[in-house]
């Protein structure tokens, strides 16, 4: 089995990150998980934070400081010699961007100290997973162009920046989104975990709507995203880290999520990334996931709301709703085996009668040790 590359995502609020004094929290829906850390405006010294992590590299995403603030930070990894790092943003502009990425590190535990922070915000931490990185109680980040996500239809990879009304512009997380304006376009993702969320960029400035269905393990929910002239967010421009879909408390096993765009009016579905809680403990323990099951989705007339409405009478395979039923493969296999035995018996009887009527001697029937089942399938 080919071991895929994985990344972990941490919110700025996790306890792993140790902030120095004089940090503030900005609470806006545009930030991942609704908040970001930034050095307080009334601070008397530059900000700093440190973080211990396990993996092979680390990156930080958030707002760069204003043009009048220092554009350089100091980095020290594992107690080594500090070095300066400058932000990768357009000169004279404040940007929401990945503002630092470490060099490749040996797989294992590391500590990073980021110092001399003058107004830089920390929103997201991305950690590259190594062979020995523990994954229990962590969240895996899957970028829009990851090969594990399957797209069908007229999707395009879009690297255009987002433009919020009151926050700095910037590229999507990972520098692109997968974008569609066509009903019938689909996305399929298979994972082994206990929760999954779909994030993207939503264009509040465009009066219009998007309708989509999300099918998890055969259970479909419908979602509508509507913007009118009276929407309070209509003046806010683009919203990054926009939560399109989320479900928790799944059974810790393999799942298939399929999304189908059913209607688009003066809008675009911009998928930026997925996150999920794995049910495996390391890279080596990633299970072989089954092939996707094709699900035919039907467009549904939806109310003009932004809430999801269930459109199925069965429930997802959550930890609180285990379905108890006999294994389908065993039932079907037993039925086929019984039918095959009856047919074989009838053929033998007819053949024996014909041979006896014609005075032929009975011919022994060849036997074999082969079963009607191969690898557990009929």
| Model confidence pLDDT, tens digit, residues 168-208 | 999 999 999 999 999 999 999 999 999 999 999 999 999 99
Sign of CA dihedral 132, 122, 42, 75: positive
Separation of alpha carbons 62 and 120, rounded Å: 7
| Model confidence pLDDT, tens digit, residues 63-93 | 999 999 999 999 999 999 999 999 877 777 8
Q: Are residues 128 and 152 in the same domain?
A: no
Q: Are residues 115 and 126 in the same domain?
A: yes
Q: Are residues 175 and 306 in the same domain?
A: yes
Considering 324, 339, 360, which residue would you say is the last residue of a domain?
A: 324
Considering 111, 133, 155, which residue would you say is the last residue of a domain?
A: 133
Separation of alpha carbons 274 and 187, rounded Å: 11
Q: Which helix (H) or strand (E) holds 201?
A: strand 186-203
Separation of alpha carbons 142 and 212, rounded Å: 20
CATH assignment at residue 250: 2.60.120.260
Q: Are residues 124 and 231 in the same domain?
A: no
Q: Are residues 148 and 282 in the same domain?
A: yes
What's the whole-model pTM score?
Answer: 0.78
- Residue whose entry in the numeric block shows the structure tokens 């429930």: 315
pLDDT at 151: 99
Q: Are residues 123 and 189 in the same domain?
A: no
| Model confidence pLDDT, tens digit, residues 296-351 | 333 333 333 343 333 333 346 666 554 444 444 444 444 444 554 444 444 443 44
The residue range of the domain holding 347 is 328-378
52 and 109 Cβ atoms separated by less than 8 Å: yes
Considering only residues 260 and 295, tell me which one the structure prediction assigns the higher pLDDT.
260
Q: Are residues 353 and 312 in the same domain?
A: no
Considering 83, 115, 133, which residue would you say is the last residue of a domain?
A: 133
Q: Are residues 55 and 152 in the same domain?
A: no
Q: Are residues 26 and 70 in the same domain?
A: yes
Q: Are residues 71 and 190 in the same domain?
A: no
Q: Domain total for the chain?
A: 3
What are 258's strand-pairing partners? Answer: 188, 215
Q: Are residues 35 and 89 in the same domain?
A: yes
Residue 284, token pair as written in the block: 């080596």
Q: Are residues 128 and 253 in the same domain?
A: no
């Amino acid at each position: 089995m080919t071991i895929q590359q994985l990344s972990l995502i941490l919110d700025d609020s996790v306890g792993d990150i140790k902030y120095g004094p004089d940090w503030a929290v900005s609470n806006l829906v545009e930030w991942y998980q609704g908040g970001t850390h930034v050095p307080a405006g009334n601070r008397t010294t530059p900000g700093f934070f440190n973080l211990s992590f396990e993996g092979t590299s680390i990156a930080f995403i958030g707002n760069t400081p204003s043009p009048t603030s220092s554009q350089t930070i100091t980095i020290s990894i594992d107690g080594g010699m500090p070095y300066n790092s400058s932000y990768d943003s357009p000169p004279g502009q404040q940007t929401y961007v990945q503002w630092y990425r470490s060099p490749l590190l040996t797989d294992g535990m590391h500590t990073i100290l980021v110092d001399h922070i003058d107004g830089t915000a920390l929103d997201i931490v991305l950690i590259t997973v190594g062979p020995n990185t523990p994954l229990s109680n962590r969240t895996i980040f899957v970028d829009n162009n990851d090969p594990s996500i399957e797209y069908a239809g007229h999707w395009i990879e879009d690297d255009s920046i987002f433009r919020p009304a009151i926050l700095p512009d910037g590229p999507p997380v990972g520098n692109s989104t997968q974008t569609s304006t066509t009903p019938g376009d689909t996305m399929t993702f298979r994972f082994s975990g206990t929760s999954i969320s779909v994030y993207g960029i939503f264009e509040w400035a465009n009066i219009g709507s998007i309708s989509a269905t999300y099918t998890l393990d055969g259970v479909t929910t419908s979602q509508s995203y509507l913007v009118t002239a009276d929407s309070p967010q209509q003046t806010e421009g683009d919203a990054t880290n926009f939560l399109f879909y989320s479900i928790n408390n799944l059974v810790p096993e393999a799942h298939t999520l399929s999304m189908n765009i059913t209607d688009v009016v003066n809008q675009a579905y911009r998928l930026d990334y997925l996150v999920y809680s794995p049910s495996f403990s390391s890279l080596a323990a990633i299970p072989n996931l089954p092939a996707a099951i094709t699900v035919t989705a039907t467009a549904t007339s939806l109310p003009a709301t932004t809430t999801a409405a269930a459109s199925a009478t069965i429930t997802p395979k959550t930890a609180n709703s285990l379905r108890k039923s006999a294994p389908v493969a065993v039932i079907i296999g037993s039925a086929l085996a019984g039918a095959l035995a009856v047919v074989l018996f009838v053929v033998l009887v007819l053949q024996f009668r014909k041979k006896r009527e014609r005075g032929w001697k009975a011919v022994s029937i060849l036997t074999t040790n082969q079963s009607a089942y191969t690898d557990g399938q009929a």
